[in-house]
Structure 1
Amino acid sequence: MNLSTELKDHLLKNGATELGYADITNFTPKDGLNIGVVFYITYPKDIIRNMKNAPTREYVDELVSLNTRLDTLGMICEEFLIDKGYHAYAQTKKRLGTDFGKFNSFELPHKTIATKAGLGWIGKSALFTTKEYGSALRLSSVLTDAPLNIGKPVLKSRCGKCTECMDACPGGAISGKEWNYTLKRNDFYDDKKCEKYALKISKENLGKPDTVCGKCIYACPHTQRYIKKS
């Protein structure tokens, strides 16, 4: 069994839904760590099914739980690669903190690595999206110098003319413009408008303001197909 297959089997066994490997040579924030390992865990279907009036308490609780599980997976991946004799750095939430900078984004977002690994694309909502699960998932990643079998990058959106997420966004954060790899997030999505509405609706639904909403996750047709599967 080669290293790529062995690592994939190890992470799937420990709770990852899917993962891939990407060449991040021109993007890495860590010198010498030019390969990205990216993985995600999906939200349970029943939690997303109840998100018509998002956000819900169950959704927020699951979001926190997924972040913890993803951090654990990141450390499992890091330790696995170090044990194999390579360098690795898990981009855990604990390490990256909560200061996302001016544009509410990390230096090398997990979803950037995910598109470069060929796992999916960036939706009009600025969320990472796959055909299988829509955007009902959360990501994390590990940077390494291990020789892994990289995927074929996805360079443009597969949303087409769909505007379901834009129509579902009361905050007006989604422009409807399709993503491609040359664009920055704020070229097609307004994070400040999203944040403003999220603070308002979370206070109404949850009793206190928070930067969570989830209406665009629920609205995505790919998400809807996922949650309707038996």
Structure 2
Amino acid sequence: MKRYLSMDLSSKLKGYLKKKGASEVGFADITNFTPKPGLTSGVIFYIAYPKEIIRNMQNAPTQEYLEELISLNTRLDALGMTCEEFLIDEGYNAYAQTKKRLGTDFGEFNSFELPHKTIATRAGLGWIGKSALFTTLKFGSALRMSSVLTNAPLDYGTPILKSKCGKCESCKDACLGGAISGKEWNYKLKRNDFYDDRKCEKYALKVSEENLGKADTVCGKCIFACPHTQRYIKRL
């Protein structure tokens, strides 16, 4: 069994996942809320949407956005399995929280036991926006993520435990379904304390039927509206 200092292993794994296509990678201590006994480290990684696809989402959702969403989900599942295999090869236990594995395990509020976003905030990569989407300074909420649970010793980030949205309500104003309350997230809140997933789903079905000709639970208006997303797509 290979053994590394946490910083050495973390650096190696981060570089490996970025080489495989991750936009960013982080590590979190999940000891107090892991769903898998013994797997107390979380590996979180995300891939940002291409700028050109988000730029064209003034009237979201678009067909190219939907196609990219599906593509990212596939790539993230593959990246999760790649990460799992990497850690197992290094002598550790690992479990990739892929969409394929967790797709049927959603609970009452369309969320599984340990959401990727929880690991991401604990890794210090960003915060939960008023839209209930994970948000970063670099990409806004124009990203999708996945995670792997492991017992590997990793160099954990500093948790972000409260919102950085402040008084901004751009996503609330953009949400024609009324799903966003405008209340700021903090780590003590449950998602439905500040966001109504049923209203979001209802409106998404309506607007996707109008825009795409087929009812689906995709929208994207809040992603496009986020000021951090706008800064991302305007950067050269």
One-letter identity of the residue aligned with 1:137: L
> Is 1:18 matched up with 2:20?
no
Matched, 1:92 2:103: no
Q: Is structure 2 residue 188 aligned with structure 1 residue 177?
A: no
**Deviations along 1:137-191, whole A, 9 cap, x unmatched?**
0000000000000000000000000000000000000000000000000000000
In structure 2, list runs of 5 or more residues that go unmatched.
1-6
TM-score, normalised to structure 2's length?
0.96
RMSD: 0.8
The 3-state SS of whatever aligns with 1:225 is helix
SS in 1 for 2:69: helix
Does 2:204 match 1:198? yes
Query: In the alignment, which residue of structure 1 is the partner of 2:51?
Result: 45
Shift of 1:135: 0.1
Q: Which amino acid aligns with 1:227?
A: I
Please give the per-residue CA displacement for 1:16-59, whole angstroms capped at 9, x wherever unaligned. Answer: 00010000111111010000000000000000001110000000
CA shift, 1:93, in A, is 0.5
- Aligned position for 2:134: 128
What is the aligned residue count? 230
How does 1:22-33 map onto structure 2 within 5 Å? 22-33=28-39
- Between 1:214-223 and 1:200-209, the stretch displaced more is 200-209
Secondary structure class of the residue paired with 2:152: coil
Report deviation, 1:98: 4.1
1:54 has 2:60 as partner:
yes
Q: CA deviation at 1:100?
A: 1.8
Give 3-state SS (helix, strand or coil) of 1:39's partner: strand
Q: Deviations over 1:50-105 (max 9, x none)?
A: 11100000000000000000011101100000001000000000111145221011
Letter in 2 for 1:217: I
Distance 1:51 1:98, change over 3 A: farther
SS at match of 1:204: helix
- Distance, in Å, in 2 between the alignment partners of 1:138 and 1:47 is 14
Provide the rounded CA distance (Å) in 1 between the counterparts of 2:90 and 2:105: 32
For 1:187, the equivalent position in structure 2 comes to 193
Among candidates 51, 61, 70, match of residue 64 of structure 1? 70
Q: State the alpha-carbon separation in 1 of the partners of residues 90 and 104 from structure 2.
A: 31
For 1:214-225, list aligned pairs within 5 A: 214-225=220-231
Q: Cα deviation per residue 1:197-221 (whole Å; 9 max; x = unaligned)?
A: 0000001111111110000000000
Residue among 102, 107, 110 paired with 2:113: 107
Partners of 1:86 and 1:45 lie apart in 2 by 37
Match of 2:84 among 71, 78, 81: 78
Aligned-pair identity (%): 79
Distance 1:115 1:17 in 2: 16
SS of equivalent to 1:201: helix
* Regions of 4+ moved over 2 Å: none
- Choose which of 157, 160, 164 in structure 1 pairs with 2:170: 164
